[in-house]
Structure 1
Amino acid sequence: MSIEAINWVLTQAPDLKPHLFPVLLGMANHAHPDGTGAYASIPTLAGYARKTERAVINDVQELLGEAKPKKVKQRDGSYLVVEPEQVQLIERGDQRLVAHIPVDRRPVVYNLLMHKRRDGGVIQPTPRPQSGRSAIVPGQPTAGGTGSTFTGGAARPVGRANQCKIHPGWFAHNCGGCKVDALVGGAA
């Protein structure tokens, strides 16, 4: 689930027809924070949108910008061909993301075009590494210092101030050793 993608649909996505909104919102629920990798199945999207699977397929085609012309019956009995408004808010994504799913049950992967905005402005999409891996490499220098060096565990004081007198290396107010001693009846 991606709060960023859902927020884009709710507040920043270009205006779209109301019937397309629940399908786009369902896709955003399954997308990564940058809008890529949304692979909800058609039955899942139909459940979210409370629509038939055929209606969801038509909505996806319209969101792709591939909507087909529709025939509308006139009052005099003739038909009028109406070209739908072409709105492209999604594109086909990297299908390798669903390679682990059996072929007969594999959904299509879509990317939300989150660089498109309601005000008509277009934000340049952030470049993604070609390999699909994160651009931050642990231990390598980045803009904020080094990459991920967190090893887990409790925070330990660096200097001598505020250290426990009995158990050096722990904060005096939150000493794990003193807590254990108190539980087993030792000195605290």
Structure 2
Amino acid sequence: MSVEAVSWALNDAPDVPPSCLAVLIGLANHAHANGRAAYPSQERLAHYARKSTRSIRSDLATLERLGIIRRGDQRHVSHLPTDRRPVVWDLAMERRRTVPDSLDSFAEPQSGRPTEVPEPVDNRPEARFPPVPTDRKRAPKRPEADFRSGRKQTSTEPSLNHQEPSPRARSLRGGAALPTDPRAGHCSRHRGSPAHNCGPCWAERLGGAA
């Protein structure tokens, strides 16, 4: 395949009948860069142009009569059987038509080069220089509920509002009370007996009353 020959057939080949354009492009597809030594079979050209081989023979004759193609060096197909040798054609690439100014390569977008719309540029200072993030003191996280067990997570840090329970509260919970003065709340006469409910004192009172 020759890009130069195909480009010539599409853009520069003069006096090409519209009905013969597909056959000319098919020949250019098999030619060298200089447009020579194109010898596809008539069946191949019929496949390209979606025509019958009879119509292909007619188109080749028309292109040859108009001087758009000519017979080339037939030795290129000498290695093929005699009954299967196609005709070798050369394209008249020296002939060119004038391209209108409106179809200049710079006047319209070319294939493979899509026209891209540039993105708008933000010229604001804050857009060019984004603010630098500052380190802020993070607030302590609140205890989050443990959804699987239904319990709240407790913090491992000691609480500043912690208060020790009173001796009475600790005794009610079964804990050991803080040591107290052994004489506080005892009977002054009978050691070991409570002052408000001293057994020996009650016995003495009852005896005196009797």
Provide TM-score, normalisation by structure 2.
0.46
Matched, 1:104 2:83: yes
Q: For residues 152-181 of structure 1, give each alpha carbon's deviation from its aligned partner in whole angstroms, at most 9, with x where no partner exists.
A: xxxxxxxxxxxxxxxxxxxxxxxxxxxxxx
Matched, 1:93 2:46: no
Equivalent residue, structure 1, for 2:2: 2
Equivalent residue, structure 1, for 2:13: 13
Matched, 1:118 2:128: no
Code of the aligned partner of 2:68 = L
Gap runs ≥5 in structure 2: 100-210
Code of the aligned partner of 1:39 = Y
Distance 2:50 2:97 in 1: 25
Runs of 4+ in 1 over 4 A off after TM superposition: none
Distance 1:18 1:34 in 2: 23
Q: For residues 132-166 of structure 1, give each alpha carbon's deviation from its aligned partner in whole angstroms, at most 9, with x where no partner exists.
A: xxxxxxxxxxxxxxxxxxxxxxxxxxxxxxxxxxx
- Check the 8 A contact 2:38/2:88 in 1, yes or no: yes
C-alpha RMSD of matched pairs (Å): 1.2
Q: 3-state DSSP class of the match of 1:57?
A: helix
Equivalent residue, structure 2, for 1:131: none
Is the radius of gyration larger for structure 1 or structure 2? 2
Aligned positions, number:
99
Relative to its length, the structure with more strand (as a share) is 1
- Check the 8 A contact 2:16/2:63 in 1, yes or no: no
Distance 2:98 2:68 in 1: 14
Distance 1:109 1:16 in 2: 19
| Alpha-carbon distance, 1:119 to partner | 2.2
Distance 1:97 1:27 in 2: 15
Matched, 1:35 2:14: no
| Alpha-carbon distance, 1:11 to partner | 1.0
Matched, 1:26 2:26: yes
Provide TM-score, normalisation by structure 1.
0.51
Distance 2:11 2:40 in 1: 22
Q: For residues 46-72 of structure 1, give each alpha carbon's deviation from its aligned partner in whole angstroms, at most 9, with x where no partner exists.
A: 00000010000000000000xxxxxxx
- Check the 8 A contact 2:5/2:31 in 1, yes or no: yes
Equivalent residue, structure 1, for 2:44: 44
| Alpha-carbon distance, 1:15 to partner | 3.5
Pairwise mapping of residues 1-188 of structure 1 onto structure 2 (< 5 A)?
1-65=1-65, 87-119=66-98
